[in-house]
Structure 1
Amino acid sequence: MAGRDVRFHLQGGAEAAMTWAPDHPLDMLIRKLESIAHLSAEERRAIAGLPTLVRLLKAGQDIVRDDDRPSQCCLVLEGWACRYKLISQGKRQIFSFHVPGDIPDLQSLNLKAMDHSLCALTSTKVAFIPHHSVLALTARHPRIAAIFWRDTLVEAAIFREWMVGMGRRTASQAIAHQICELYLKLKAVGLAENHLYRLPVTQSDIADALGLTNVHVNRVLRELRTKGLVTIVGGTLRIHDWRELTGFCEFDPTYLHLERQAA
């Protein structure tokens, strides 16, 4: 696949570009795993050898649903996805956002029935990987199995931070904390730099993730802009003062357990 520029439109009409050029669908998975652990050349080749079925999904399209018994894992290649659950009144709770390189349903290897749903938040390209192929890979390469386990533990750490955000941080702090988290996750796989990244989720998505109303999210984003901390223009988020923003929301990136960033 030829490389392409991801262009960010800044205030004043300027542009910034980052080149994202994976040569193979599983390059994004390798990039993600190498952000939290070291992979040998042999392990990278083994992961790249997994069979995949690539599909394009529309925004809002479910990838796997509550109570499903999937036989494959889903790798996000482009776009954003989320874990969510609906209650009887039709209200949605989002548990996590997922960006390229993430396998949001890796737990389906061992938990046969889904206890939540997974959907595309934007137009999304995904790669489906059969469970039996992943299990065979981890049997041949125990270190890869350990790295997958580490990835699920990092997801659990992120979930705990979200719980703290909903339960003990103010709405402004919770949103600011999420902005910082997403920046580092995207930067780790080469999709953000210079405190700038695409934020394609809606205010409604943020509200459903943090248990807020759309009006409250809108008010917080205006407050952060007024304080000179962040701006969002055309779906692109720019952090103007990283130190001030992280201090404001008490952001400590230790829970992400990042060891390296994509070149």
Structure 2
Amino acid sequence: MHQRLIARLQAVSGLAQEELAVLNALPHTVRKLDDRESILKEGDGAFTCVVLISGFLYRRKIVGDRSQILSLHVPGDIPDLMTLYLPTMDHDLISVGQSIVGTVPHAALRAMFDKQPSLVHTFWRETLIDAAIFRHWVGNLGALDALHRVAQLFCELAVRLEFVGLLNRGSFAFPLTQADIGSACGLSTVHTNRTLQALRRRGLLEWRGEMVTLPNRGELEALADFNADYLQRSSKSA
């Protein structure tokens, strides 16, 4: 757990040696999750926070008869950090493919903040970046066509996985389905398939099994008009 969490925080905030020591000592319980297994459901009370160690998670909201993916989470993320102050879930948190998480008691996090107050600002920054990603997704849903929405999603994931050392020559593990992409981007499965085929024809996306490759990432970012500033890479990690 510590490796991915620290890589994530180093990428966006930078960490002092004393902060690293406290984070490395953070107690946690490892839990393995199957594909589509729920960690928390809407209405549940939370007493721990989840740090994603490997795999993917997504937040989901059921609206009427539609399942909407609200966000995707990669290793190093803490997707339920808000439960420190908002302990009742207003959405579901679900594993995509097999994943491994570390659960950290709220009490342990609060004790860590008492011992190393500077980390309060680091974790608060995480919630602000999370909110920035939400805003970016909402803006994309309202303003972009299908090709740009899907291209932006892959560009974003590449940056976030690069933060934690999980982007290898433009390739990364990707257990999501076309239906998942459609749910995240507000598209039907048929429209999603057409959009993915368009990216393939342009030589910007390869997707085989559970592995995605971006053969020309710069060209994909140009097509998507992608600007990663909202992900807040720290100058200390560049």
Q: Which TM-score band applies after superposition, normalised by the shorter structure? A: over 0.9
Deviations 1:154-212 (A, max 9, x none): 11111111111111111000000010000010011000032221221111111111111
For the pair 1:244 / 2:189, whether they are aligned, the reply is no
- In structure 2, the residue matched to 1:34 is 10
For the pair 1:114 / 2:89, whether they are aligned, the reply is yes
For the pair 1:159 / 2:129, whether they are aligned, the reply is no
- In structure 2, the residue matched to 1:75 is 51
Q: Is the 8 A contact 2:4 2:164 kept in 1?
A: yes
Q: Is the 8 A contact 1:46 1:137 kept in 2?
A: yes
- Unmatched tracts of structure 1, length 5 or more: 1-24
Q: Is the 8 A contact 2:129 2:231 kept in 1?
A: yes
- In structure 2, the residue matched to 1:93 is 68
Specify the SS of the correspondent of 2:97: coil
Matches within 5 A, 1:44-63: 44-63=20-39
For the pair 1:143 / 2:105, whether they are aligned, the reply is no
- In structure 2, the residue matched to 1:17 is none
- CA–CA separation in structure 1 for the residues paired with 2:192 and 2:106: 38
Matches within 5 A, 1:173-212: 173-212=148-187
Q: How far apart are residue 240 of structure 1 and its match?
A: 2.0
Change (3 A) 1:238 1:199: same
Deviations 1:80-130 (A, max 9, x none): 0001111242x2111110111111000000112111110101111111000
Instruction: Give the aligned CA root-mean-square deviation in angstroms.
Output: 1.5
The AA in structure 2 aligned to 1:69 is G
Runs of 4+ in 1 over 3 A off after TM superposition: 260-263
Q: Is the 8 A contact 2:33 2:99 kept in 1?
A: yes
The AA in structure 1 aligned to 2:134 is F
Specify the SS of the correspondent of 1:95: strand
Percent identity over the alignment is 36
Specify the SS of the correspondent of 1:35: helix
The AA in structure 2 aligned to 1:121 is V
Q: Is the 8 A contact 1:196 1:237 kept in 2?
A: yes
Q: How far apart are residue 248 of structure 1 and its match?
A: 1.1
Q: Is the 8 A contact 1:31 1:262 kept in 2?
A: no
TM-score of the two chains, using structure 1 as the length reference: 0.87
TM-score of the two chains, using structure 2 as the length reference: 0.96
The AA in structure 2 aligned to 1:63 is I
Q: Is the 8 A contact 1:82 1:96 kept in 2?
A: yes
Q: Is the 8 A contact 1:29 1:101 kept in 2?
A: yes
For the pair 1:129 / 2:90, whether they are aligned, the reply is no
Change (3 A) 1:172 1:193: same
- CA–CA separation in structure 1 for the residues paired with 2:214 and 2:123: 31
- CA–CA separation in structure 1 for the residues paired with 2:133 and 2:235: 18
Q: How far apart are residue 230 of structure 1 and its match?
A: 1.4
- CA–CA separation in structure 1 for the residues paired with 2:19 and 2:199: 43
Q: Which has the higher contact order (CA 8 A, sep 6+)?
A: 2
Change (3 A) 1:101 1:262: farther
The AA in structure 2 aligned to 1:220 is T
Q: Is the 8 A contact 1:187 1:261 kept in 2?
A: no
Specify the SS of the correspondent of 1:148: helix
Task: Please point out which of 65, 75, 79 is paired with 2:41.
Answer: 65
Q: How far apart are residue 261 of structure 1 and its match?
A: 9.1
- In structure 2, the residue matched to 1:8 is none
- Unmatched tracts of structure 2, length 5 or more: none
- CA–CA separation in structure 2 for the residues paired with 1:100 and 1:31: 9
